[in-house]
Structure 1
Amino acid sequence: MENKNYTQVINITPELKSRIDELISHYPADKRKSALLPVLHEVQDAHDNWLSADLMAKVAEILEITPIEVFEVVTFYTMYNQKPMGKYMFEFCLTSCCSLRGAEDMLEYACEKLGIQPGGTTEDGMFSVVGVQCLGACGYAPMMQLGDFYKEHLTPAQIDQIIEDCKAGKIILHDK
């Protein structure tokens, strides 16, 4: 899925706009930019877990900042996606603690099981596997994040079970 121009339908529903306005209300009127991180989370969640350049520009418009200010944040944090991702995104922590305890092996195993490369998405759009920086769970390595949940002390057997549970619809990513 690399080097493609992805298009995305921008749909700022009344419900989403209300949620964005509520988030902005937590900050001084002249500091709307302070709401950028939570607004990006809401907007990404409402747009199939990714943010196109056009959607980033829309966020900039809403927050009354420049598009480059949004782009700088989206490209800095691994929690924001700039291309379509799978419904289930396996985010493996690859910092030193996790790497020393086998995280890279678990990432490679998941990619092999799903027939994709790191950073890739399965053809059916069901799974993506990415390496990320510290998820703050060093004592539970190797670990990955799946939606809002950590999967810890990973083994190949656990990864197999997680994949099967996802395919069977047993894993719910958000409680929204």
Structure 2
Amino acid sequence: MASRTLPLFSCVAHNTFRSHMRLFGSGGGNGLSAVSGAVSGGVVGVVGAAGAVGSSHLLLDRGLAVRPFTSGKKSASASSTFVQSTSFASLPLSRSTSSRDHVASFSTNSHDHSNLHQPDQPDNSPDVHWDFTEANYDKVAEIVARYPSNYKAAAVIPLLDIAQQQNDGWLSVSAMNRVAAILGMADMRVYEVATFYTMFNRSKVGKYHLMVCGTTPCMLRGSRDVYAEISNHLGGVEFGDSTPDGLFTLSEMECMGCCVNAPMIAVADYTNGTEGYTYNYYEDLQPGDAVRIIDSIKDKGISSVKIGSQTRGTCEPKDMQTSLTSTPPGPFCRPLIKKEAEQKA
């Protein structure tokens, strides 16, 4: 895909000009009078103590940079460290760009799609009515009450979490709009949160959301084999896909904090809405363990499966109080309890 050349004068650059405009006097050469509406003013740069222009780039947005400044005029303020240049540079992006759908494939959740409106989902529209249940409104009120009235927006993540649980595991546009209305936020601010955090799903998922950790520790311990076994067992579904019966969705997640018990998967249960919602870890897996867990969930429900490590207690060594393969060389603890008993006798 070909690279694109974009104009350098972005909103980032404009803010830079506004914040430093006071450093330039009306008689300071080219001035900044033409900057407010056109790309004909100067570029703000940094100079050293001796007045020489620094060679560092000023990065503006991904792939955009100002070429090293080679000429410029000191500002009207003698103590200022800023200069202005007489021209802008428009540089190619440092790498090819593509559509948001393609960029979303780099997300840490393989099921997450960042595009806000998805035409293939007619119920994902701001025109579709959505609201919290009465029971969930009680939870919403309790959460919002934890924050000062002028900081209600701090509750956006827990409210989105409740909305996702109620909405069978995904966030529709109307659900996000409802959260925004309750918190007095602009809709776009809520969209930004929902599309940034990968635990929020912007597409429908199955009743059970299977998430395979693909980060380095799990990968080294066999997570790719676990994924391959799950995919084959579910009829060839890949990351981001759901089974035809809508029961399982398979996704890849990045580190979920159980590296010591790698490899692991997480399963989110959306079968009973908010009241029955669970999010459990299953650790120390062999490929066959993952298949057994899935079959047990399908036949008997989520409660039929042991949570956590499948082979040991928490992250303790499996057979003894050491991870060494031979007898520990010491030092050993003194038998104080035995010694105390002997003294009392």
Q: 1:139 aligns with which of 250, 260, 280?
A: 260
Q: Letter of the aligned partner of 2:283 in structure 1?
A: E
Partner of 1:121: 242
Distance (whole Å) between structure 2 residues aligned to residue 44 and residue 35 of structure 1? 14
Distance (whole Å) between structure 2 residues aligned to residue 68 and residue 133 of structure 1? 26
1:145 CA displacement: 0.8
Distance (whole Å) between structure 2 residues aligned to residue 69 and residue 152 of structure 1? 36
* Residues 79-158 of structure 1 mapped to structure 2, 5 A cutoff: 79-115=199-235, 116-147=237-268, 148-158=279-289
Distance (whole Å) between structure 2 residues aligned to residue 111 and residue 164 of structure 1? 13
Partner of 1:38: 158
Question: Residues 35-71 of structure 1: CA distance to partner in whole angstroms, max 9, x if unpaired?
Answer: 1111111111111111011211111111111122111
Question: Residues 139-172 of structure 1: CA distance to partner in whole angstroms, max 9, x if unpaired?
Answer: 1111011122111011121111111111113314
Of structures 1 and 2, the one scoring higher in RCO (CA 8 A, sep 6+) is 1
Confirm or deny: 8 A CA contact 1:91 1:144 kept in the other structure: yes
Choose 25-34 or 95-104, whichever is displaced more: 95-104
SS in 2 for 1:121: coil
Aligned alpha-carbon RMSD (Å): 2.0
SS in 1 for 2:176: helix
Q: 1:161 to 1:125 in 2, by over 3 A?
A: same
Identity fraction in percent: 33
Structure 2 residues without counterparts, runs of 5 or longer: 1-110, 269-278, 305-345
Distance (whole Å) between structure 1 residues aligned to residue 252 and residue 122 of structure 2? 22
SS in 2 for 1:83: coil
1:6 CA displacement: 4.6
Distance (whole Å) between structure 1 residues aligned to residue 293 and residue 131 of structure 2? 31
Distance (whole Å) between structure 1 residues aligned to residue 291 and residue 180 of structure 2? 41
Indicate whether 1:5 and 2:121 are aligned. Answer: yes
Confirm or deny: 8 A CA contact 1:6 1:83 kept in the other structure: no
Distance (whole Å) between structure 2 residues aligned to residue 139 and residue 124 of structure 1? 34
Confirm or deny: 8 A CA contact 1:140 1:152 kept in the other structure: yes
Choose 39-48 or 5-14, whichever is displaced more: 5-14
Q: 1:61 aligns with which of 176, 181, 185?
A: 181
Q: Letter of the aligned partner of 2:173 in structure 1?
A: A
Distance (whole Å) between structure 1 residues aligned to residue 303 and residue 137 of structure 2? 25
TM-score normalised to structure 2 length: 0.47
Partner of 2:299: 168
